[in-house]
Amino acid sequence: MSSVYDELREAAELAAAARRSPERPLVRVDLSTSSIAAEADRLWEALEPLAAQHDVELVRVGTLGLSWLEPVVEVERPDLSASASGGGAVVYGPVRTEDAAEFLAAALGDNPAEDASRWLIGARTPTVGVPPLADHPFWGPQERRLMRLMGIIDPESLDEAIAEGAYGALDRAVTMDPMAICDLVLAAGVGGRGGGGFPAGQKWKFLLGAPGPTKYLVCNADEGDPGAFVNRVLMESDPHLVIEGMAIAGRATGSDYGFIYIRDEYPLSIERMQLALDQARARGLLGRDIFGSGFDFDLEITRGAGSYVCGEETGLIASVEGIRGMPKIRPPFPAQRGVFDQPSNVNNTETYANVPLIVQHGANWYREHGTESDPGTKMFSISGALERPGILEVPFGMGMDELLLGCGGGPPDGHRPKGIQPGGPLGGLLPASDLGLKLERPPFTERGVLLGSGGLILFDERASAVDLTKYFSEFCEDESCGRCTTCHGGSQRLVEVLERIMHGDGREEDLTRIGAIDRTLQNANCLHGQFTPYAVRGLVNYFRDELDTHIAEKRDPARVAPGLTRYLIVDPSDPRLEEAAALCPTACIARAPVEADDESDEGEDGAERSEALGDWRIDQPHCIHCDVCREIAPEAIRVEDRYLATLSVV
Amino acid sequence: MERFAGLLQQLPRAQGEMLRALHLAQEELGWISRDAIRLIARHLRVSEAQVYGPATFYAEFRHSPPPRTLVTWCSGPSCRVVGGDRVRRIFEAEFGCRLGENTADDELGLWLGQCNGTCEQAPMVWVNGRVVGPLSMVDSVKLARRLKAGEDVIEWPRRPIKIAPATFVDAEATYGSEHEHEADGAD
Ligand SMILES: Cc1cc2nc3c(=O)[nH]c(=O)nc-3n(C[C@H](O)[C@H](O)[C@H](O)COP(=O)(O)O)c2cc1C
Ligand code: FES
């Protein structure tokens, strides 16, 4: 350790320790985007005066990842520690603002396991009388490396980070030969976490070998894949890990400046990263002559503005330059010509975040987990039809069923898994029978999908695979940069075909047409267009029955396509129909005027039926299939296939 | 507008400041007006078309004044598999405007949003930037009606995001040396 770092660490440890006395309880409140969505900021305000009353220290932390239980609060009580090396940290949630006082009193009382049982999740560290969090299905299988400090340290305090060892790896790296760092990262086998999986060490060597003097690093925190929020959690919960990783990469590649490109949808990430940069700079962890080694490095943030293709590395570079974020044809690769035409390197946030751990613990340690093709651990964000959506870190190679059904608990309310959507809009679709796949790249690629950047969405029989495919195709159309007609025209045609199918106008030859669009899109300029057909390919390959039913029978088994279904009143005597009518957004549920009865609009489907059943009617052309009426009066309303019902009439 | 013009002067005169300048305009003025485009072009020493390009390429930049209450509908897949598309249809019907539009009086707007990973709240919308979810369909109708009646309006919680311009590597090294600094104060 350099004496500069030594001093820094000592000072930080003192400052961090000053925040808490050994006897005083510590109350950690998860303040992250997910918890704030569950009103954790209001909870914090309610807890502030209470903390003073109870004489406890209130600490802002990032997230432990238990998103479905937000707002999560951890109470650490040294007096309840069940181990000599500390302990007594118990995790609770969800803690509602209105329960703040009651909760705190119970959690700080004599018997929290019992008194605070309605909030109790488990003990993160050994605690007398509280079952360990490790027994929780969401927590047990995890291997938390990147997430080691998340939800535990204050992401807005550099002292806490340094006291836990942050920037120690950078201190070592500045004395290392750049090529040695590249070799180390290559030996560890860190694959790019943005989806491509390209060995980071290899890419760094390209940049190291590129002519200087100006070289740039770019951190890709655009995380455009809906359902993926790995990078967000990293930046919000442990921002210094990302900064340290980039600084080490700077040392390894001979680059002295970097850009962190964060999507605009992540305001809290932007705020915390900016604060972390300022703090690091103020302590000399960024800037000139870091640790007296002569190594200069600094970073700035580029705030995105809502564009998916800007996640593609050449698009990202264009966006950093302040022009439209349109991808370019590679080569030249960024290492040849990147930001402002200078040699550059783009890596995902999580890729950089792994680096300090490797420098600290070595390549062999890194490879203790994971598989041959994908060593190490990976953060996954799981959502969709799940009992327990959230974010977690597991070794590569774990079974997807273990993650989604084990940790995530599978679909709620006894629904059955129908399929999985991995890797974002370009990732494709998998059937539930593939739940046993190992979470590493090769088995996914073999099935024609992408494991991607860590978002996994489970859907059950209530969702329509055709509708999902249409959504992803629309997304790709919307987000196409427009430079090549192949891509924007191709995705437009794809959406048109799918829309038509969902309207009951599907034709047999549509399958041929989809195939032709697929083949055409493969010639698009960039990966956005080339991967656009992955979703529809998944539909054709794995959900063929459903697609055929749409086309041949004009029927949607999931009954979500408005064009293929209709809402009918089957029990007009249900008194709740009154309320349903009042809440119907288009006022299409109404009592038919009595005198209209004898005219009974001839031929109009279902007319006879509603007349026979009574006087409530749904005015079909105005029904927007919003399901409000069925939610209110589930027995009185039925969703039926539109065409089976009319075929007999027309 | 004057305040915006003043703040704009503090940004380095470089193409790389484009997104910062546009964000500044939207934060200060609420939207990117024609005048803002002209000012940015002059300050960054680029043509108006070079500002107009990015200003219209990126979905976040608005080209009309924002509504008083903005409902951003999450278009994401986790929301969609649990009824998100129905939520959109409900808000469209209740507000009487399509996705991407404001009501005629600019009181309410319904815009498309991308998943920000609060999927455990699915299906959801943001009301003036604050997550509201999970929404049943009945909840959605009731929320839309309360907003129409001017109730339940959530104040924008946003603290303005400040992003510091480059610090130690001077702008010249970062952005190349063309047309910088020498023109300072000319406007
Ligand atoms: C359309 C498109 C969108 C992408 N979006 C992202 C993204 O949001 N985040 C990301 O890290 N990589 C994204 N990528 C991958 C990047 O192009 C690039 O491979 C990655 O940032 C390299 O970093 P890595 O090697 O660390 O993965 C995207 C690629 C494409 C084609
Ligand atoms: S899909 Fe709506 S928040 Fe993620």
Q: Which domains are present in chain B?
A: 2-57 (no CATH), 69-148 (3.40.30.10)
Residue type, A3: S
Confidence of residue A473 (pLDDT cuts 50, 70, 90): very high
Same domain as A211, residue A286 = yes
Same domain as A480, residue A438 = no
**Is 90 exceeded by the pLDDT of residue B164?**
no
- Per residue in A100-135, pLDDT (tens digit) is 999 999 999 999 999 999 999 999 999 999 999 999
- Per residue in A184-243, pLDDT (tens digit) is 999 999 999 999 999 999 999 999 999 989 999 999 999 999 999 999 999 999 999 999
Classify the complex by whether its ipTM is higher than 0.95, answering yes or no.
no
Judge whether A435 and A420 are in contact, CB under 8 Å. Answer: yes
- Per residue in B126-142, pLDDT (tens digit) is 998 889 989 999 999 99
Q: Is the CB of A196 under 6 A from ligand 1?
A: yes
Q: Is A141 among the domain residues?
A: no
CB-based burial of residue B3 (10 Å sphere; 0-12 exposed, 13-18 middle, 19+ buried)?
Answer: exposed
Tokens 């992003």, residue located: B163
Say which CATH number the domain at A413 has. Answer: 3.10.20.600
**Is 70 exceeded by the pLDDT of residue A648?**
no
Predicted confidence at residue A17, as pLDDT, reads 87
**Domain ends where: A135, A159, A180?**
A135
Question: If you average pLDDT over residues A460-489, what whole number do you get?
Answer: 95
Pick the closest to residue A58 from A24, A27, A35 (CA basis).
Answer: A27
For an interface test with A, which of B43, B119, B126, B128 has the most A Cβ atoms less than 10 Å from its Cβ? B119
For an interface test with A, which of B92, B114, B126, B147 has the most A Cβ atoms less than 10 Å from its Cβ? B114
Contacts 24+ apart (CB under 8 A), A52-58: A54/A25, A54/A104, A54/A105, A54/A108, A55/A24, A56/A24, A56/A25, A56/A26, A56/A27, A56/A104, A56/A108, A57/A19, A57/A20, A57/A24, A57/A25, A57/A26, A57/A27, A58/A27, A58/A29
Nearest CA in chain A to B113: A265
Q: Do B114 and A300 touch (CB under 8 A)?
A: no
Chain A nearest CA to B51, separation (Å): 8
Say which CATH number the domain at A571 has. Answer: 3.30.70
Q: Find residues 33-52 of chain A whose CB sits inside 8 Å of chain B.
A: 33-34, 36-38, 41
Q: Is A17 among the domain residues?
A: yes
Residues of chain B positioned with their CB less than 8 A from the CB of A580: none
Looking at the complex, does the CB of residue B120 fall below 8 Å from at least one CB of chain A? yes
Q: What is the rounded average pLDDT for all residues in chain A?
A: 93
CA distance A646 to B16: 60
Say which CATH number the domain at A530 has. Answer: 1.20.1440.230
For an interface test with B, which of A579, A628, A629, A639 has the most B Cβ atoms less than 10 Å from its Cβ? A628
Q: Is A161 among the domain residues?
A: no
Residues 6+ apart with CB under 8 A from A496: none
* Among the ranges given (A133-137, A410-414, B39-43, B176-180), the one the predictor scored with the smallest mean pLDDT: B176-180
Q: Do A383 and B122 touch (CB under 8 A)?
A: yes
Q: Find residues 161-180 of chain B whose CB sits inside 8 Å of chain A.
A: 161-169, 173-176
CA distance A559 to A471: 16
Question: If you average pLDDT over residues B24-29, what whole number do you get?
Answer: 94
Q: Find residues 185-244 of chain A whose CB sits inside 8 Å of chain B.
A: 214, 224, 226-229, 232-233
CA–centroid distance, residue A536 to ligand 2 (Å): 21
Same domain as A622, residue A574 = yes
**Is 90 exceeded by the pLDDT of residue A141?**
yes
**Domain ends where: A337, A366, A395?**
A366
Question: If you average pLDDT over residues A486-509, what whole number do you get?
Answer: 96
- Per residue in B81-100, pLDDT (tens digit) is 889 999 999 999 999 999 99
Same domain as A335, residue A273 = yes
Same domain as A534, residue A634 = no
Same domain as A120, residue A52 = yes
Judge whether A315 and A483 are in contact, CB under 8 Å. Answer: no
Residues of chain A positioned with their CB less than 8 A from the CB of B14: 322
CA–centroid distance, residue B120 to ligand 2 (Å): 8
Partner residue opposite B57 with nearest CB, options A296, A302, A325:
A325
**Is 60 exceeded by the pLDDT of residue B166?**
no
**Is 70 exceeded by the pLDDT of residue A487?**
yes
Partner residue opposite A281 with nearest CB, options B119, B167, B174:
B167
Give the count of domains, chain A: 5
Q: Is A148 among the domain residues?
A: no
Same domain as A184, residue A296 = yes
Mutate to test the pocket of ligand 2, among B71, B78, B112 (most ligand atoms within 8 A of CB): B78
Partner residue opposite B54 with nearest CB, options A68, A232, A323:
A323
Q: Please state the φ and ψ torsions of residue A629, each to the nearest 5 degrees.
A: -65, -40
Predicted confidence at residue B155, as pLDDT, reads 64
Residues 6+ apart with CB under 8 A from B156: B128, B129
Same domain as A436, residue A579 = no
Judge whether B69 and B111 are in contact, CB under 8 Å. Answer: no
* Buried/exposed code over A599-637 (b: 16+ C-beta within 10 A; e: otherwise): eeeeeebbbeebbebebbbbeeeebbbbbbbbbbbeebb
Predicted confidence at residue A398, as pLDDT, reads 98
* Residues paired with residue A221 on neighbouring β-strands, in sequence order: A262
Same domain as A412, residue A517 = no
Return the DSSP state at A433.
Answer: G
Same domain as A332, residue A205 = yes
Confidence of residue A594 (pLDDT cuts 50, 70, 90): low
**Domain ends where: A460, A481, A496?**
A460
**Is 80 exceeded by the pLDDT of residue B119?**
yes
Question: If you average pLDDT over residues A10-32, what whole number do you get?
Answer: 90
Instruction: Give residue A261's domain range.
Output: 167-366
Same domain as A570, residue A485 = no
Q: Is A559 among the domain residues?
A: no
Q: Do B93 and A462 touch (CB under 8 A)?
A: no
Same domain as A413, residue A505 = no
Q: Is A649 among the domain residues?
A: no
Q: Is A159 among the domain residues?
A: no
Confirm whether pTM is higher than 0.80. yes
Nearest CA in chain B to A412: B82
Predicted confidence at residue A612, as pLDDT, reads 46
- Per residue in A562-592, pLDDT (tens digit) is 999 999 999 988 999 999 999 999 999 988 7
Q: Is A5 among the domain residues?
A: no
